[in-house]
C-alpha cells in the first residue's frame, strides 16, 4: 500500500446508518466519492451473534444497517447525513415501504460525539423546515453490538440488479439518487 493510501486508511472514519433494507443504502453509499467501503450489517440489538433470519424475526433488537468507512477529506459526515435522509423516509416508525419491523427502523448510530451533535442538529433543521409532513422518528444513539451481514448480502443490489426487489425498489431509488447527488459520485458511476 502506498504512503498516501496508508494515510487515508489511518484518517478514515466510520458512520453507521439504518434506513430500511440495507441493500439500497449500501449500493448508494458505495457510489460516493470518499467512501472507502460500505458494508451491510446488523447493529444496536442485544443478541451476541445475529444473523439475517434472527434479525428478521424481530427478536434480536438489531436494525439492518450500513457501516460506511469514509475519508473525511473527500466526503463530510454532513454530506453522508444528507444522502442518508434522502434515501429513506425518516418519518415512518419501524417501516420503509412494504418492509415492516423494528429491523427496518430509521437510526443514526454514532461513532463520535461530534456525529451525534451533527445528526441531531440536522434533524432539528429538517423539522423546522417542514420538509416532512410527519415528525422525524430517526433515533440517534451510539453504535453498539455491530456485526457484518452474511457475505451474500454484501454488494447484493450490484450483483442482482434483476432480482424483483432490486429491480422494483432499489433501482428507481438509485437512479433518483444518481440524479440528485451527481456531483458527489465516483467517476466510474
Identified catalytic residue from 21, 24, 56, 166: 21
How far apart (Å, rounded) are the C-alpha atoms in residues 55 and 88? 20
Sign of CA dihedral 81, 83, 86, 91: negative
Run of H or E residues at 85: helix 77-87
How far apart (Å, rounded) are the C-alpha atoms in residues 14 and 66? 10
How far apart (Å, rounded) are the C-alpha atoms in residues 37 and 152? 16
Does the active-site annotation cover 21?
Answer: yes
List the catalytic residues: 21
Amino acid at each position: 500500500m502506498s504512503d498516501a493510501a496508508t494515510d487515508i486508511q489511518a484518517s478514515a472514519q466510520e458512520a453507521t446508518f439504518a434506513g430500511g433494507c440495507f441493500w439500497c443504502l449500501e449500493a448508494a453509499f458505495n457510489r460516493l466519492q470518499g467512501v472507502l467501503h460500505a458494508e451491510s450489517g446488523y447493529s444496536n440489538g442485544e443478541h451476541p451473534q445475529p444473523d439475517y433470519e434472527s434479525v428478521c424475526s424481530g427478536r434480536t433488537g438489531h436494525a439492518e444497517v450500513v457501516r460506511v468507512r469514509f475519508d473525511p477529506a473527500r466526503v463530510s459526515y454532513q454530506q453522508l447525513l444528507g444522502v442518508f435522509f434522502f434515501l429513506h423516509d425518516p418519518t415512518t416508525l419501524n417501516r420503509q415501504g412494504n418492509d415492516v419491523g423494528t429491523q427496518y427502523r430509521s437510526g443514526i448510530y454514532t461513532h463520535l460525539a461530534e456525529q451525534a451533535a451533527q445528526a441531531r442538529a440536522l434533524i432539528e433543521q429538517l423539522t423546522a423546515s417542514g420538509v416532512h409532513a410527519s415528525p422525524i422518528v430517526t433515533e440517534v444513539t451510539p453504535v453498539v453490538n455491530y456485526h457484518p451481514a452474511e457475505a451474500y448480502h454484501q454488494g447484493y443490489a450490484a450483483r442482482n440488479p434483476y432480482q424483483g426487489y432490486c429491480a422494483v425498489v432499489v433501482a428507481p431509488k438509485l437512479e433518483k439518487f444518481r440524479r440528485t447527488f451527481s456531483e458527489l459520485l465516483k467517476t466510474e458511476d
